[in-house]
């Protein structure tokens, strides 16, 4: 049993929580390059938090340029035990209107330009992504939403697209035919990398618009997205506050995700690339200690 230290990745407005105590912006260096921003640490309802603006403060970084490896690495170095992602998405379902909140539990990855693993030549690893989010953390987020008066749908398949442009109508209709529920540009490879870092991950998604599959609907536009997003961020802040209240009452028991690298590293330790081992000092600290 141990204490929770929650990492939260999301937009800048998410962090404007008046009750956050001992707040401090800190630069954390990573061997994987620059993270999106400094990390804001603080304490909310007795729970330590580490916030990271995914696009940087002021939304300076487009989706394809987000250094997800550095972002996950710095949260690992910050001592996070779990990560909650908060992001805006488009809806591919009639019953998920703008303003809805939903927890992603599955992903289809259509990104193309983003490094998607900490591992590679010289140290090969294969983690399971069959169930890419943490069911315990997701349930805690959903319960927090209920206490905050925000209904959160418990399951959704997230189509991760490259962006930065929105979908064509043909693409949007194709993704619906695949059984996808929501579409966004940031969840991958973030969720993959969190798993490689042995960090349980939950994804709270805020629906800002219907994607362009609806023939009778206006095209997706940034102005309408931002209007809905600002309203959703206020609710997301309430969910975070309620989540910390819940976590403050329970100790963190071990998760199977905490040790998922035990069976994932394939390369003979005698053949490990020392340069890659050095870069993985935070991601694999626990696993290397047992090698």
pLDDT in tens, the chain (291 residues): 479 999 999 986 788 888 999 999 999 999 999 999 999 999 999 999 999 999 999 999 999 999 999 999 999 999 999 999 999 999 999 999 999 999 999 999 999 999 999 999 999 999 999 999 999 999 999 999 999 999 999 999 999 999 999 999 999 999 999 999 999 999 999 999 999 999 999 999 999 999 999 876 656 566 677 777 777 888 899 999 999 999 999 999 999 999 999 999 999 999 999 999 999 999 999 999 987
Place of tokens 């209240």: 245
Task: For 20-177, list the strands marked E by DSSP.
Answer: 21-26, 39-44, 47-53, 82-91, 101-104, 106-109, 152-153, 157-160
* Residue 216: per-residue pLDDT: 67
How distant, in Å, are the alpha carbons of 4, 81, 240, 242, 246 from that of 44? 12, 16, 9, 10, 11
Return the active site residues.
209, 211
Strands 201-210 and 101-104, how do they pair? Answer: antiparallel
User: How far, in Å, CA of 56 to CA of 117, rounded?
Assistant: 22
Query: Distance from first CA to last CA of the chain, Å, rounded?
Result: 23
What are the b/e assignments for 24-38, b being 16+ CB within 10 Å?
Answer: eeeebebebeebbbb
User: How far, in Å, CA of 206 to CA of 240, rounded?
Assistant: 14
How distant, in Å, are the alpha carbons of 40, 52, 72, 84 from that of 24? 5, 12, 19, 19
Burial (Cβ within 10 Å: 0-12, 13-18, ≥19) of residue 221: exposed
* Residue 219: per-residue pLDDT: 61
Q: Cβ contacts of residue 49 below 8 Å, gap of 6+?
A: 5, 6, 7, 8, 20, 41, 42, 43, 240, 244
* Residue 1: per-residue pLDDT: 47
* Residue 291: per-residue pLDDT: 74
Place of tokens 């973030």: 190
* Residue 200: per-residue pLDDT: 98
Q: What angle do CA 153, 9, 277 make, to 5 degrees?
A: 120
CATH architecture of 5-289: 3-Layer(aba) Sandwich (3.40)
* Residue 114: per-residue pLDDT: 97
* Residue 220: per-residue pLDDT: 58
Task: For the chain, list the strands marked E by DSSP.
Answer: 5-10, 21-26, 39-44, 47-53, 82-91, 101-104, 106-109, 152-153, 157-160, 182-184, 201-210
- Helix and strand numbers (H, E) in the chain are 7, 11
């Amino acid at each position: 049993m141990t204490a929770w230290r929650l990492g939260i990745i999301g937009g800048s407005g998410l962090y404007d929580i008046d009750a956050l105590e001992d707040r401090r912006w800190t630069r954390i260096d990573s061997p994987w390059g620059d993270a999106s921003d400094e990390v804001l640490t603080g304490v909310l309802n007795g729970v330590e938090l580490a916030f990271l603006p995914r696009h940087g403060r002021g939304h300076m970084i487009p989706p394809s340029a987000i250094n997800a490896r550095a972002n996950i690495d710095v949260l690992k170095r910050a001592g996070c035990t779990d990560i909650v992602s908060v992001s805006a998405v488009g809806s591919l379902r009639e019953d998920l209107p703008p303003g809805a909140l939903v927890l992603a539990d599955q992903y289809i990855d259509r990104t193309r330009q983003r490094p998607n693993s900490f591992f590679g030549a010289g140290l090969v690893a294969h983690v399971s992504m069959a169930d890419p989010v943490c069911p315990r953390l997701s349930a805690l987020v959903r319960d927090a939403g209920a206490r905050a008066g925000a209904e959160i749908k418990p399951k959704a398949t997230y189509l991760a697209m490259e962006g930065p442009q929105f979908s064509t109508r043909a693409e949007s209709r194709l993704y619906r035919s695949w059984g996808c529920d929501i579409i966004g540009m940031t969840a991958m490879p973030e969720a993959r990398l969190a798993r490689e870092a042995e960090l349980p991950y939950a994804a709270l998604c805020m629906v800002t618009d219907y994607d362009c599959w609806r023939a009778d609907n206006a095209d997706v536009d940034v102005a309408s997205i931002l209007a809905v997003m600002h309203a959703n961020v206020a609710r997301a802040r309430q969910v975070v506050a309620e989540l910390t209240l819940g976590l403050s009452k329970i100790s963190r028991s071990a998760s199977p995700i905490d040790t998922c690298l035990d069976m994932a590293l394939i390369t003979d330790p005698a053949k490990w690339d020392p340069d890659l081992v050095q870069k993985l000092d935070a991601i694999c600290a626990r696993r290397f200690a047992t090698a």
